[in-house]
Structure 1
Amino acid sequence: MKLTISIIILVFSLGCNSNAQEAKNQKTYPVSKTEAQWKSELTTAEFQVLRKKGTERAFSSKLNRIEEPGTFVCAACGNELYKTRHKFESGTGWPSFDRPVDEKNVDYRPDRTGGFSALEVLCANCGGHLGHVFNDGPRNTTGKRHCINGVAMDFIPKKK
């Protein structure tokens, strides 16, 4: 009985320490809003992906078909994320890029949810979840594939 109680206390304290450490590791972003504010400003789909780390259905984004010159920006805060010239057809069903506009515009965080290990990509301005980066991109460029949810971005065409 004592052993069982000791194990329960140990497991509980490890869980609490893990949660405390996770909260301590949370980054503060320049654009910071309450969940209610984000919910009122974003569409349901944008909120689900950007704030709740969801994933849109493959091949559902109109951004997959964009080839004209321009910039893809965060749908939550307008931060410049990707350029059309770095976009490529990966066949995965999500907009894919070999690099961001600037590395300082995105953050990376290890993600071990969903049964696989990947590198999560977040907006460095508001912390919105964008997608993931993998090492199976074009070998003639960076070798990276930024697999990004289209609903997490807006497209701004280049002015002519």
Structure 2
Amino acid sequence: MTIYLAGGCFWGLQKYFDQFPGVRATEVGYANGPDSAPTYREVCDSSGHAETVKIEYDPKEISLRELLDKYFLVIDPLSVNKQGNDRGIQYRTGIYYADQSQLSEIQAVYDEQEAKYGAKLAVELAPIQNFYSAEEYHQKYLDKNPDGYCHIPQKMFHLAEEESKETLRKKIGDLSYEVTQNAATERPFTGEYDDFFEKGIYVDIVSGEPLFSSLDKFDSGCGWPAFSKPIEGKELKETTDRSHGMVRTEVRSAQANSHLGHVFPDGPRETGGLRYCINSASLRFIPYDKLEEEGYGEYKKLFER
């Protein structure tokens, strides 16, 4: 699906929408002016076109309502031909639809915004009449020129990242989020898997990537789950951790880069001498009898040797 949105300088509006999952492609251009292709200079000289972003999106991943809700976060819907320091007819706000079926959803959001502000919106609502692609140097301008001018606050370019973080926090819980994302440490002897030795595997609570097997788990008495090695063939990331006045080897998951814990050279000699000291909050346990059901059937062979 395609929607055309005008809201001040199109440099910032394009970068803003490029961040959201479900937005497949964007293009900046000049819309709903005289039916002839203008140059940027002609647009700035009040040709009548609006600086507009053409947005191609997958409605299965992001709805038109979601796009419009995000649009209204970065425009002044009551101003005529003015957005921030941008003044002129080319900087007017507008929602230009390509398909009549989009109108009812657009109108619903539009009505909600008018009720919110208690005033008539200055945002044009009309079918797309024409759209002319802007010169190449305007495309992805702020990616090419990170210090370029933009009327949209910088923090809004990280909105999707913040939304993703909040979604993850709700999914895995505050403790697991702080451990995996901010390298926090759960209190000793409080973790779910500290004194836990059922048959199965442990996966990253964030990504589900397999990390450790119960076959390699042992009671180290340290207050956290301890493993002598990761699952065979599974690599972990190791980095030097100099926090808290110590020098330790931090362990992270390879795919999701989740903080897991640390590895020490004081494990059982008969199993290689390593002790992977891991936070329970970074793990999810998959019982042996549910490996097939959960999509980890290939790991049953670990227990058949």
Which TM-score band (shorter chain)? 0.7 to 0.9
Q: Contact conserved, 1:72 with 1:154, CA < 8 A, in 2?
A: yes
Q: Give me the CA root mean square deviation.
A: 1.7
Q: Which amino acid aligns with 1:123?
A: S
1:159 to 274, 281, 289: 289
Unaligned runs of 5+ in 2: 1-162, 291-305
Indicate the residue corresponding to 1:53 in structure 2. Answer: 183
Indicate the residue corresponding to 1:89 in structure 2. Answer: 219
- CA spacing shift, 1:40–1:105, aligned 2, 3 Å: farther
How far off is 1:103 after superposition?
5.2
Where does 1:1-160 land on structure 2 (aligned, <5 Å)? Answer: 34-102=164-232, 104-159=234-289
TM-score, structure 2 as length reference: 0.40
Q: Using the alignment, how far apart are the partners of 2:233 and 2:251 within structure 1?
A: 11
Instruction: Between the two structures, name the one with larger relative contact order (CA 8 Å, sep ≥ 6).
Output: 1
- CA spacing shift, 1:157–1:118, aligned 2, 3 Å: same
Q: Using the alignment, how far apart are the partners of 1:60 and 1:45 within structure 2?
A: 12
- CA spacing shift, 1:137–1:121, aligned 2, 3 Å: same
Unaligned runs of 5+ in 1: 1-32
Count of residues paired in the alignment: 128
Among all aligned residue pairs of Structure 1 and Structure 2, give the percentage whose two residues are the same amino acid.
Answer: 36
Q: Contact conserved, 1:79 with 1:105, CA < 8 A, in 2?
A: no
TM-score, structure 1 as length reference: 0.75
- CA spacing shift, 1:106–1:95, aligned 2, 3 Å: same
Segment of structure 1 superposing worse, 49-58 or 113-122: 113-122
How far off is 1:39 after superposition?
2.6
Indicate the residue corresponding to 1:19 in structure 2. Answer: none
Q: Using the alignment, how far apart are the partners of 1:62 and 1:36 within structure 2?
A: 23
Q: Using the alignment, how far apart are the partners of 2:281 and 2:218 within structure 1?
A: 18
- CA spacing shift, 1:103–1:34, aligned 2, 3 Å: farther
Q: Using the alignment, how far apart are the partners of 1:117 and 1:38 within structure 2?
A: 30
Aligned with 2:184: secondary structure? coil
Q: Rg bigger for which structure?
A: 2
* Per-residue Cα deviation, 1:17-43 (whole angstroms, up to 9, x for no partner): xxxxxxxxxxxxxxxx94334334320
Deviating beyond 2 angstroms after TM superposition, the runs of 4 or more aligned structure 1 residues are 33-42, 102-105
Q: Using the alignment, how far apart are the partners of 1:93 and 1:77 within structure 2?
A: 25
